[in-house]
Structure 1
Amino acid sequence: MTLATGVGSFPGTDQRDFDEALRVVLGELGLPFLPEVPGRGAGAAMIGRTIGLVTELDADLQPAGWRLTGTSGAPALDQRRASSLLGQDLDTLEEHAADHPGPFKVQVAGPWTLAATVERPRGDRVLADHGARRELAQALAMGVADHVADVRRRLSRTTRIVVQVDEPALPAVLAGAVPTASGFGRHRTVHPPEASETLGWVLGAVRGAGAEPWVHCCAPDAPLALVRDAGAAGLAVDLSLVGADGQDALAAALEAGDAVALGVVPSTDPAVPPTEKEVVAAVHRWLDLLGLDPAQVTEGLVLSPTCGQAGASSAWVKRSLAILSSAAASLS
């Protein structure tokens, strides 16, 4: 059965917006998820949410973004706030979906996106320090495993938990295109074996906790074959940005029985919204291009927006998810 889902982020600025987003995803989607409303502050955005999970390392919020403090003991105030806000969101989820019997998805930032974004205690990105990026990835793996256990406890009837590991920075990391703190240089290229191994620690922790690890990358040239080799059981992409190598990886994933989440409707308000029929036709054309029989692979297909929707209007978010849900039902 083809499912519909979202990437993660919603528009909004306060708790009421989160409550409404949760109501929409639970009521509209075959694969609902824990919404992110980054307009509530840095602790509610993708990086801040994940920093709140990484309790093995302490971090605080600086004007340039999140920074590891290099201290041990009680987490810094901003990190505690991020963790507390996630806990509140999970409390709301439990209140409204404790008896939810179907699949459910949560999202975390991946180890390479964290390393390319979070600063070391003495400046510049974690990406610049081989030991620091290993330590951050291993702490993330522990935090994600605990997060899965917490979600499973709250959603006791859910039999399938998906953890979407967001890696928008991974192509830049592999290409040596992440700028240094000064902006005048670039961090060294990370070679594919190390990138795969490090990502694999987090995906393995997800699998070890009894959940299904997906990787989402809506950047051009997403290294989908590397992601599959690292242990991803699902690939989530903006279909319009996938090149020839990526198409081969998506086809291989579907043929192997893995999940493929196709971003097929705009994440922000389009001038001319697509119809359900147009979305279904586009998916059929894509499958035909790959030489795949829809009857054999639609079980692994998931439809989604092309990326997060924090920059969209609330009206378009609701309409886009309704289009995706209808298209998924038609494909099924």
Structure 2
Amino acid sequence: MQQPPRATGIGSLPGTDIGAAHRLVFDELPDLPFLPELPARGVGADLTGRGTALLVELYAEVQPSGWRLADRPGRDARRAAAFLRQDLDVLEENAQDFTGTLKVQAVGPWSLAATLELRHGDRMLSDLGAVRELSESLTEGLRLHLADVRKRAPRAEAILLQLDEPALPGALRGTVPTASGFGRLRAVEEPVARDVLGKLIQAVHDAGATAAVHCCAPDVPVELLRTAGADHISFDASRLEVDSRRDEQLGEAIEAGVGLLLGVVPTLEPPRVPGVNQLLDKVLSLTRIGFSPRQLAEAVTITPTCGLAGATPPWARQALILAHRTADALADKAA
């Protein structure tokens, strides 16, 4: 059974004060708070660095070209692990009495492979065998991570793991650049992408959690994510072009019980701040695919369009408030 409309964030927030970030999230998103990520802290707090901190028996370090596999954990790996540990310690302080659903985020296997280099310098995405090894390592790391989150939020009813896959559409199209930047890596076939992602999602389910996949590209592969087993698909509704085929895929996803984390609140403060009714209209535009406001309310969670790391702190707060108020307005519309 679907949840009533809720609001949450994508994951990242501005600033470096993790305590303040947790207070913001639990204050403004009581129905679906998330584990904040603060990339402004530097190396190790970025999307790829945070992903490397979850790997089991694979290590990485920062080179001039970016994160690269290493033979042993060094300063960069220790820094990434320390950030993650600190974040979980603060979560433990704030989530002792929390009884709802808690969302945590991690980079997905395809986006990690597109940004992490092999030891000789090419991207891991160039070697499907290496991608599978990476995914297996990440899967085991996420299993341990989810168990740790449950210990730190002992009364949480459920855990939702969001896999961030911004590079997945590029991997499928063959537009991910080589490490040198002078070429493009060969496109990944959809069955291969689905298989790798599906095995990881199944492991998440086996760990007692549900899985969302976030992709803010305009060509989010809805059907692939649904058939890979995602419980929720997260995307930027403002960038999703009206397309009859994609509308059909969204309809099939909703009919199959897949939830939509719908990004409608601007990530950066616009010249004219949208009102709740304007944001609600963006949600209700999906009635074009044949669903009533009540059905959309059962399927939709309201979010900003993407992460808020580049926002000002006042706008980050306002964006989360707007998401929450829009979710309330959707509930009223469906009543």
TM over 0.5: yes
Corresponding residue SS for 2:82: helix
Distance 1:5 1:218 in 2: 15
Distance 2:12 2:251 in 1: 27
| 1:312 match | 311
Q: Displaced runs of 4+ in structure 1, greater than 3 A? A: none
Q: Deviations over 1:128-150 (max 9, x none)?
A: 11211110011111111111111
Distance 1:241 1:108 in 2: 22
| 1:7 match | 10
| 2:247 match | 247
| Long gaps (5+) in structure 2 | none
Structure 1 residue identity aligned to 2:276: E
1:42 aligns with 2:43: yes
Pairing of 1:8-157 with structure 2 (within 5 A):
8-12=11-15, 14=16, 16=17, 18-29=18-29, 30-69=31-70, 71=71, 75-157=73-155
Distance 1:251 1:19 in 2: 40
Q: Deviations over 1:224-255 (max 9, x none)?
A: 10111111110000012224233322222222
Deviation (angstroms), 1:20: 1.3
Deviation (angstroms), 1:89: 0.7
CA contact (8 A) 2:260 2:301 kept: yes
Computed over aligned residues only, the root mean square deviation of the Cα atoms, in angstroms, reads: 1.2
Instruction: Give the TM-score normalised by the residue count of structure 2.
Output: 0.94
CA contact (8 A) 1:235 1:250 kept: no
Q: Deviations over 1:132-177 (max 9, x none)?
A: 1110011111111111111011111111111000000001101110
Structure 1 residue identity aligned to 2:56: T
Q: Deviations over 1:198-234 (max 9, x none)?
A: 1112211211111111100001211110111111110
Distance 1:123 1:143 in 2: 24
Distance 2:47 2:224 in 1: 23
| 1:259 match | 259
Q: Deviations over 1:20-73 (max 9, x none)?
A: 11111101112110111100012111111111010220111112111111x2xx
| Long gaps (5+) in structure 1 | none
1:281 aligns with 2:281: yes
Q: Across the two proteins, how many residue pairs are aligned to each other?
A: 325
CA contact (8 A) 1:100 1:157 kept: yes
Distance 1:61 1:159 in 2: 38
Structure 2 residue identity aligned to 1:271: P
Distance 2:41 2:166 in 1: 21
Comparing 305-314 with 55-64, greater Cα deviation is found at 55-64
Comparing 115-124 with 75-84, greater Cα deviation is found at 75-84
State percent identity of aligned pairs: 48
Q: Deviations over 1:255-307 (max 9, x none)?
A: 222210110011011111111121122212x2321110122331221000111
Corresponding residue SS for 2:105: strand
| 1:192 match | 190
CA contact (8 A) 2:237 2:282 kept: no
Instruction: Give the TM-score normalised by the residue count of structure 1.
Output: 0.95
CA contact (8 A) 1:222 1:246 kept: no
Distance 2:256 2:240 in 1: 19
CA contact (8 A) 1:55 1:75 kept: no
Corresponding residue SS for 1:165: strand
CA contact (8 A) 1:176 1:186 kept: yes
